Amino acid sequence: MKSHLSVLPPHVWVSRRRPRLRVRLWIRIRVQSDMPSRMLRRALTAIALCGGASAACAAQGADAALVARGEYLAKAGDCFACHSTPRGKPFAGGLPMTTPMGRIYSTNITPDTDTGIGRYSEEDFKRAVREGVAPDGHALYPAMPYPSYAKVSDVDMKALYAYFMQGVTPVKQANRATDIPWPLNMRWPLKLWNVVFLDNTRYEQKADKDAQWNRGAYLVQGLGHCGACHTPRGIGFQEQALDQSGRAFLTGAPLENWFASNLTGNHNTGLGRWSEDDLNTFLRTGANAHATAFGSMTDVINYSTQMLSDADTRAIARYLKSLPGGRSNDGPPYMPHPDGARVMLTGLPGNPGAHTYATFCMHCHGADGNGAAPWLAPLAGNPNVLEPDPVSLINVTLNGTGPLVIGGVPAPYPMPKYHATLTDQQIADALTFVRGSWNNQAPAVSAQAVKKVRSATRAP
């Protein structure tokens, strides 16, 4: 059993590779055409046509409201990001996700009756989304974050079901089989995994907390599936904790050549220095005075958190700020440097990292490492820069990042790629300089570590 468990493809290995050039335009079109949402317009038209007098009309109005609610919840769950491809139709599936054993593809969740989920009953839908079991009984890979969705309430599942049945356009597109070879492609071990690791219980309100905290907890642990990326994995690749009762919850985790940051209250590597307002701004715009979103977090901002209501992102911020520091050893508290630009100049003679920084990075990130927030990420005191695991910093320097698109407008100065310009040693030296300057105190980065990320992220 153990050997089977150890080959399971967890969400943590999933990469969402998309052709880069096309994605920019596509996201822009998507986001723009989503606001005001087609669905909401359709719902309003239905109500208007009806005139609102008869009982049948009232029922239609209620239905439309349910569908609109479901559409909103689908955004909170970021279903679109995984179940669509750049050139494909919304929710028709087919997005490849890489696991160590081969690729798997997300499935068609449009209401097409042959190739999609059109024949699913509400019970079938609930079981697939919360328990990872399809109607024919086969187990889904936990690349579908059902261990988090298990927390979603019956009321919300009903609205999601209404949306996927009535609000999504059916698309005829057959699912692709996984590329995982026999016998690793057998799905029955996943059922054992569920027995051991799936906690199939709904979110329970905490009586000693207020409504806003409970709302935030429900969204973070459930539809937001933040822990699927931000919580470290255990021996069976399960998330080590699914809520704040476990110390490891949201303390940060490596994930397909990125590091999903520590979201607890740690002063240096966590969100200890962020206010609730800072956090809310980050979720709504992908940037604030402390950091700018990159890597797989851009998807989360592009398709999910920026579309939530302000009340909901504030609830998320409130809940996250209630998590005490999850790491016992976070180093001495970071203090901003009073004269950062001087550090740069005195660092120059004989320091190859300072030279590379001055030549390639300084015009954006500044001599004092403060950048020009919120457009250009500060590097001084940045929690990701202070994180012991440097993989995100290496990856973003080698490969830049996909565009952050807020309200249909792409970020003006995205981080460039340096994989063709700088050697492993130059990148290691520049990042070592960044991690040791302006009162940053994080371990040096080796050329070996850069080499590893370079080969792992090389385009196939």
User: Of the ranges 41-49, 72-80, 196-204, 444-452, which one interacts with ligand HEC (CB under 6 A)?
Assistant: 72-80
How far is it, in rounded angstroms, from Cα 393 to Cα 52?
Answer: 56
Min CB(346)–ligand HEC separation in Å: 19
The verdict on 107 binding ligand HEC (CB under 6 A) reads: yes
The verdict on 454 binding ligand HEC (CB under 6 A) reads: no
Of 218, 224, 226, nearest to 201 by C-alpha is: 218
Between the CA of residue 253 and those of 56, 141, 237, 248, what are the distances in Å? 51, 20, 12, 10
How far is it, in rounded angstroms, from Cα 72 to Cα 308?
Answer: 7
Select from 238, 401, 432, 440 the one that contacts ligand HEC (CB under 6 A).
401
Residues numbered 302 to 361 that lie near ligand HEC (CB under 6 A) are 305, 316, 360-361
Select from 12, 47, 64, 77 the one that contacts ligand HEC (CB under 6 A).
77
Select from 364, 367, 406, 447 the one that contacts ligand HEC (CB under 6 A).
364
Binding mask 24-63 for ligand HEC (x = CB under 6 A): ----------------------------------------
**Who's near 459: CB < 8 A, 6+ residues apart?**
none
* Comparison of 77 and 189: residue with beta carbon closer to ligand HEC: 77
Q: Which residues of 376-387 are buried (b: 16+ CB within 10 A; e: fewer)?
A: bbbbbbbbbbbb
Min CB(42)–ligand HEC separation in Å: 20
How many CB atoms are located within 10 Å of the residue 30 CB? 17
The verdict on 217 binding ligand HEC (CB under 6 A) reads: no
CA angle 214, 202, 317 (to 5 degrees): 25
How far is it, in rounded angstroms, from Cα 290 to Cα 296?
Answer: 18
Q: Which residues of 128-157 are buried (b: 16+ CB within 10 A; e: fewer)?
A: bbbbbbbeeeebbbbbbbbbbbbbbeeebb
- Is 337 annotated as a binding-site member? no
Select from 244, 302, 306, 384 the one that contacts ligand HEC (CB under 6 A).
384
- Is 50 annotated as a binding-site member? no
- Is 4 annotated as a binding-site member? no
- Is 230 annotated as a binding-site member? yes
User: Of the ranges 19-27, 217-225, 339-347, 437-445, which one interacts with ligand HEC (CB under 6 A)?
Assistant: 217-225
Answer for the pair 115, 172: CB distance below 8 angstroms, yes or no: yes
Binding residues for heme c: 79, 82-83, 226, 229-230, 361, 364-365
